[in-house]
Amino acid sequence: MNDTQDLFPTRLERKLGMFERIDPVVYGDKSQRADGPLSNTDIEDYERKGFLSFEGFYDSEKMEAFLQELRDFEDDPDLKLSEGTVLEPGREEIRTIFGIHEVSERFSKLTRDPRLLAIVKQLLGSDVYIHQSRINYKPGFKGKGFEWHSDFETWHSEDGMPRMRALSCSIVLTDNGEFNGPLMLIPGSHRYFVPCVGRTPENNYKESLKSQEVGVPPQSSLRELMLNNDIEAPKGPSGSLVIFECNTMHGSNMNMSCWPRSNLFFVYNSVENTLQAPYCGNRPRPEFLANRSDWDPLEPLDEAF
Ligand code: 6CS
Ligand code: FE
């Protein structure tokens, strides 16, 4: 356990009400905020909503090579058995591959795309490293959804991420439409910390990555957040990008359509926010979920992707 008082108490037996965020949303001084690809309006939107979406950030054709690698992974029996691969509950299908940037050079390079990195640094106001990377497959008809949650709630309690100074870049690898289970977000939800009820069992990740039960916010809090600001589900063709703040409430439905929905996620954390011992008191989760071994700042590649 950390000695200092926990600023974000969660996973206790008793219910605690949600409270206002204490951390900045966009970091860095005025000149740092102006120094990057995002306009003033983008920055204000991100600050207000907790996410930004860019349709067609990358050309769809450029995504093809990534998709081909994914298809190859699906046929790779070793990868299917590896610890970072999560299968759908009771099924054969791949749900998530964690640590994708460790497995593939192509994905690793994408984490260092100068265009992407410049945006991330502009928002986090410092150098950054990859805290977690993953592909969420959501095959047609069979892909299950993800319960509402704040990533920060999990990363703080289970991984010891001290403050809200991280974000996810979700790159759409297959077109995301309204029927194939797109990412849904609650605008403005990042401005509140919503404590969840219930102690975290050891090795909780083995269950939570298939179907989350601990770390799910109370419905009363979710209702309040939704009534305030509704729900949004950015859609777009392959190559579109959603950037969302680590505390933005999000989730997604199962995929009832015939069209697969595969999204790539890179989680960037500030080098000034590196992990401590998990606040829930459990042992740290494996490296494929929470990087504790390489906090070196990411260096942009010479060429934009
Ligand atoms: O436990 C985690 O770190 C993961 N679980 C969810 C549901 N979202 C974020 C993250 O990939
Ligand atoms: Fe999440």
Q: Would 276 be classed as within a structural domain? A: no
ipTM of predicted assembly, 2 dp: 0.95
Round to whole Å and give the CA distance between 262 and 170.
10
Would the CB of 96 count as within 6 Å of ligand 1?
no
Q: Would 155 be classed as within a structural domain? A: yes
Nearest to 180 by CA among 138, 147, 209: 138
CA of 149 to the centre of ligand 1 (A): 9
Question: Ligand nearest 250 Cα, by number?
Answer: 2
CA of 302 to the centre of ligand 2 (A): 31
Which atom of ligand 1 is nearest to 168's Cα?
9
**Average pLDDT of the residues in 19-29:** 97
- Residue 304: band (very low, low, confident or very high) from pLDDT cuts 50, 70, 90: confident
Q: Would 102 be classed as within a structural domain? A: yes
**Average pLDDT of the residues in 164-186:** 97
243: domain CATH number is: 2.60.120.620
Please give the pLDDT value at position 3.
56
- Residue 4: band (very low, low, confident or very high) from pLDDT cuts 50, 70, 90: low
Q: Would 130 be classed as within a structural domain? A: yes
44, 50 contact by CB (below 8 A): no
**Average pLDDT of the residues in 68-78:** 89
Q: Would 44 be classed as within a structural domain? A: yes
**Average pLDDT of the residues in 168-180:** 97
111, 298 contact by CB (below 8 A): yes
Q: Name the percent of the chain lying above pLDDT 70.
A: 98
Render pLDDT for 194-220 as a digit per residue (tens, 0 to 9): 999 999 999 999 999 999 999 899 999
Q: Would 6 be classed as within a structural domain? A: no
Please give the pLDDT value at position 53.
98
Write a three-state SS string for 154-191.
HHHHHHCCCCCCEEEEEEECCCECCCCCCEEECCCHHH
CA of 30 to the centre of ligand 1 (A): 32
Would the CB of 154 count as within 6 Å of ligand 1?
yes
Q: Name the percent of the chain lying above pLDDT 90.
A: 90
- Residue 75: band (very low, low, confident or very high) from pLDDT cuts 50, 70, 90: confident
Output DSSP code: residue 285. Answer: P
Would the CB of 190 count as within 6 Å of ligand 1?
no
- Sequence-distant (6+) residues with CB within 8 A of 215 are 10, 11, 149, 153, 154, 157, 158, 196, 200, 204, 208
CA of 175 to the centre of ligand 2 (A): 19
Render pLDDT for 43-71 as a digit per residue (tens, 0 to 9): 999 999 999 999 999 999 999 999 999 99
239: left (phi over 0), alpha (psi -120 to 50) or beta: left
Round to whole Å and give the CA distance between 175 and 152.
27
Residue indicated by tokens 């000149």: 31
Which atom of ligand 1 is nearest to 215's Cα?
7
122, 38 contact by CB (below 8 A): yes
Whole-number Cα distances in Å, 259 to 143, 179, 180: 10, 8, 6
Whole-number Cα distances in Å, 256 to 42, 139, 179, 184, 274: 33, 9, 7, 16, 39
Which atom of ligand 1 is nearest to 96's Cα?
11
Would the CB of 212 count as within 6 Å of ligand 1?
yes
Would the CB of 257 count as within 6 Å of ligand 1?
no
Q: Would 228 be classed as within a structural domain? A: yes
Give yes or no for residue 2 having a pLDDT over 60: no
Would the CB of 152 count as within 6 Å of ligand 1?
no
**Average pLDDT of the residues in 140-146:** 94
Domain range for 125 is: 19-50+58-270
Output DSSP code: residue 9. Answer: -
Render pLDDT for 240-266 as a digit per residue (tens, 0 to 9): 999 999 999 999 999 999 999 999 999
Q: Would 292 be classed as within a structural domain? A: no
Total domains in the chain come to 1
Would the CB of 146 count as within 6 Å of ligand 1?
yes
Nearest to 130 by CA among 148, 116, 143, 111: 111
